Amino acid sequence: MKTVERAARALCKFDGHAENIRFEGAPMWRSYVPQVRALLDSVRTAAPAGTDSEGWRRMIEAALTEGDGV
């Protein structure tokens, strides 16, 4: 399971929804993909204090580019 999908499923569960119920013809978790992408995009350049900022950026970039099957 890729990072974006894993995060979207977690948000779906957090909101109290079953991940795989159908919503607009797709599993419910897929409706959370835009929020996950927005979050990852917003933190792409915000490395926590004391971390390798280049490593942080690469990690977020990898999550955004690995695809989510949507």
pLDDT given at position 5: 93
Amino acid at site 58:
R
Q: Where are the domains of the chain?
A: 3-65
pLDDT given at position 63: 80
Rounded distance, CA 27 to CA 6, Å? 13
Assigned token pair, 55: 């490593």
Q: What is this structure's pTM? A: 0.72
Assigned token pair, 13: 């569960």
Tens-level pLDDT at each residue, the chain (70 residues): 888 999 999 999 999 999 899 999 999 999 999 999 998 888 776 766 777 777 877 888 888 887 656 5
